[in-house]
């Protein structure tokens, strides 16, 4: 049973370019979460999605960032017109059920390290 | 206010010794869960142990145990018989009630000395 998969593992972009980060949840999981980890910091929640729905995007920057989880295919975190401050590790996590209980854990992917030159 | 506080940026421990990593949390929700994750240098996040707010006993998973002191709002991770492979960043996290997100602390870097 493959774990959460993220690609690419490393991504380099120049300022002003677009970055697309992909996340394939674990088999049977239909809930995806994106987190950002800035250097020397813990993970910060960005967005929670179910298939074709954004459930909670309270942690997403208001501009340049968007996320989707289509009916078919991986979840995509898209960053337009990247700036140096976007350099970070972006983690995706998945869970099999709606988060109805505090006992539900999330399973993390290996992360994508974005470097903006 | 910070939801999760980890006050030890770095810790050292001798191989085969036990070590305690501190974590305090802040919530007014009576129902919450506390999690510890390990992040080795390769970068992935590995789930270690979970403690629920209503659990009567401290959680244990192999060499990992969680010293849960509810009144003090602390959830310290204890690693017994440290191994060189335990060298990594360790993150404490919390989920409140039916909320969707995890709140993470800033992490503790553990180095095991041979």
Cβ of A110 and B44 within 8 Å?
yes
pLDDT at residue number A111? 94
Residues of chain B contacting A, Cβ within 8 Å: 4, 6, 31-33, 35, 37, 42-47, 50, 52-53, 91, 93, 95-107
| pLDDT at residue B38 tops 80 | yes
CA atoms within 13 A on the CB side of B77: 31
Q: pLDDT tens-digit profile of A65-90?
A: 999 999 999 999 999 999 999 999 99
Whole-angstrom Cα Rg for chain B = 14
| pLDDT at residue A101 tops 80 | no
Copy the structure tokens of residue B64: 């990992």
Instruction: Indicate the average pLDDT of chain A.
Output: 90
Q: pLDDT tens-digit profile of B61-96?
A: 999 999 999 999 999 999 999 999 999 999 999 988
Quickly state the pLDDT bin for A22 (edges 50, 70, 90): very high
Provide the 8-state DSSP code for A26.
Answer: P
Quickly state the pLDDT bin for A3 (edges 50, 70, 90): confident
Place of tokens 């950002």: A36
Calpha distance A83→A106 (Å, rounded) = 29
């Amino acid at each position: 049973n493959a774990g959460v998969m993220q690609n690419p593992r490393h991504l380099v972009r120049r300022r002003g370019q677009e970055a697309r980060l992909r996340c394939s949840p674990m088999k049977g999981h239909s809930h995806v979460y994106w987190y950002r980890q800035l250097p020397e910091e813990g993970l910060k929640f960005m967005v929670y999605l179910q298939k074709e729905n954004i459930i909670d995007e309270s942690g997403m920057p208001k501009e340049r960032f968007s996320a989707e989880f289509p009916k078919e295919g991986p979840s995509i975190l898209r960053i337009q017109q990247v700036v140096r401050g976007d350099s970070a590790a972006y983690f995706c996590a998945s869970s099999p059920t709606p988060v109805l209980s505090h006992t539900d854990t999330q399973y993390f992917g290996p992360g994508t390290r974005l470097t903006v030159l | 206010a910070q939801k999760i506080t980890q006050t030890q940026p770095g810790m050292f421990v001798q191989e085969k010794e036990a070590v305690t990593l501190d974590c305090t949390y802040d919530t007014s929700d009576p129902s919450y869960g506390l999690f510890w994750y390990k992040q080795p240098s390769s970068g992935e996040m590995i789930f270690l142990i979970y403690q629920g707010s209503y659990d009567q006993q401290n959680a244990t998973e192999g060499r990992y145990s969680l010293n849960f002191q509810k009144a003090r709002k602390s959830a310290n991770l204890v690693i017994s018989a440290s191994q060189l492979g335990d060298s990594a960043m360790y993150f404490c996290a919390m989920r409140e009630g039916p909320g969707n997100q995890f709140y993470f602390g800033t992490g503790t870097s553990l180095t095991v000395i041979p």
